[in-house]
A and B are shown apart, each in its own frame.
Chain A
Amino acid sequence: AQRVTQPEKLLSVFKGAPVELKCNYSYSGSPELFWYVQYSRQRLQLLLRHISRESIKGFTADLNKGETSFHLKKPFAQEEDSAMYYCALRGYQKVTFGTGTKLQVIP
């Protein structure tokens, strides 16, 4: 079985503060991890995937196999970062999503 846990439903930070959205996973094989973002009234968009080790819109995420985590980080939050963020795991064929974290950036 594969599972993704996002422990925070809501994360509020001030503009300019660091952001860390937590994601933990459970999977017996070698997982592929992704972060998706959903801005208000828009469709979900791929933000980044661990395999490419990229930085998108200032966000980064590192896969920690020892802690089975894939936390999303940004050093300085901006108001336009306010959105729902979903962590996802692709196992053998299926993609499982976490329950999402709403990021609220306070001006």
Chain B
Amino acid sequence: NAGVTQTPKFQVLKTGQSMTLQCAQDMNHEYMSWYRQDPGMGLRLIHYSVGAGITDQGEVPNGYNVSRSTTEDFPLRLLSAAPSQTSVYFCASSQTNSYGYTFGSGTRLTVV
């Protein structure tokens, strides 16, 4: 049982490049979310999903796209990377509304 797996762990991008951060969970969780963690700002919600085929925006969705074609996977796409997107990205999943999240180990992204 791997839990929530994020890849890659580290990534350096040039401004304007695009990439996809992968997130997969093997716990059959319905809820999945993407957060970014910045110093002094805590975790801010980018996008979330309450089930396969259903996604919605969080607090800071601009510059990011998501899709949820399966229960297991919830990739986050950066369309055109900007230095302001330098951050640590966490994917999280939960079974239902009342359960806490299980987090991935994070992806540290640097945009130069």
Interface flag for A26 (CB, 8 Å): no
Q: In the complex, which residues of chain B have a beta carbon less than 8 angstroms from the beta carbon of A98?
A: 42
Is there contact, CB below 8 Å, between A43 and B40? no
Q: In the complex, which residues of chain B have a beta carbon less than 8 angstroms from the beta carbon of A49?
A: 98-100
Is there contact, CB below 8 Å, between B45 and A94? yes
Is there contact, CB below 8 Å, between B58 and A43? no
The tally of residues in A whose CB lies under 8 Å from a CB in B reads: 22
Q: In the complex, which residues of chain B have a beta carbon less than 8 angstroms from the beta carbon of A95?
A: 33, 45, 48, 92, 101
Q: In the complex, which residues of chain A have a beta carbon less than 8 angstroms from the beta carbon of B106?
A: 43
Interface flag for A15 (CB, 8 Å): no
Q: Please tell me the size bucket of the interface on B.
A: 20 to 34
The answer to whether A94 and B42 touch (CB under 8 A), given A32-B98, A43-B104, is: no
Alpha-carbon gap, A90 to B92, bound state (A): 13
Is there contact, CB below 8 Å, between B90 and A97? no
Which DSSP category, helix, strand, loop or mixed, fits chain A's interface? Answer: strand
Which A residue sits closest to B106, measured CB to CB?
A: A43
Q: In the complex, which residues of chain A have a beta carbon less than 8 angstroms from the beta carbon of B98?
A: 32, 49, 51, 90
Alpha-carbon gap, A11 to B41, bound state (A): 17
Alpha-carbon gap, A46 to B103, bound state (A): 9
Is there contact, CB below 8 Å, between A94 and B48? yes
Alpha-carbon gap, A23 to B33, bound state (A): 22
Interface flag for A44 (CB, 8 Å): yes
Alpha-carbon gap, A93 to B43, bound state (A): 16
Q: In the complex, which residues of chain A have a beta carbon less than 8 angstroms from the beta carbon of B99?
A: 49
Which residues of B approach A to under 8 Å, CB–CB?
31, 33, 35, 40-45, 48, 50, 56, 58-59, 90, 92, 97-106
* Closest 3 pairs (CB-CB, A-B): A46-B100, A99-B42, A97-B43
